[in-house]
Amino acid sequence: MFRVMSLALVACLLMAGSAFAEMKIGVFNSQAVAMDSDAAKAAQQKLQSQFGAERSQLEKQAKDLQTKGETLQTQVAKMNAKEREEKQMEFLRLRRAFEEKSRNFARKVENTENQIRQNMAQQIYQAAQTIAQKQKLDLILDAASGSVMYATPQLDITKAVLAEVNRLWKASGSKFPEPRTGQK
Question: How far from 52 is each of 8, 120, 169, CA to CA, in Å?
Answer: 67, 22, 24
Sorted by sequence, the CB contacts under 8 Å of residue 69 that are 6+ apart come out as: 91, 95
Domains of the chain: residue spans and CATH: 24-171 (3.30.910.20)
Contact 89, 79 (CB under 8 A): no
CA 12, CA 139: separation in Å to the nearest integer?
22
For the entire predicted model, the pTM comes to 0.70
Q: Where are the beta strands (DSSP E) in the chain?
A: 25-28, 139-142
Q: Residue 12 has what pLDDT? A: 54
Q: Where are the beta strands (DSSP E) in 41-182?
A: 139-142
Closest CA to 171 of 58, 39, 79: 39
Tell me the sheet residues that pair with 141.
27
DSSP H or E stretch at residue 28? strand 25-28
pLDDT > 70? residue 76: yes
Q: Residue 108 has what pLDDT? A: 94
Average pLDDT value for residue range 132-138:
92
Tell me the sheet residues that pair with 26.
140
CA 6, CA 103: separation in Å to the nearest integer?
65
Average pLDDT value for residue range 105-134:
93
Contact 72, 88 (CB under 8 A): yes
The model's confidence at residue 177, banded by pLDDT at 50, 70 and 90, is low
When comparing pLDDT for 121 and 4, which is higher? 121
CA 62, CA 162: separation in Å to the nearest integer?
40
What whole-number percentage of the chain has pLDDT above 70?
A: 84
pLDDT > 80? residue 133: yes
pLDDT > 50? residue 63: yes
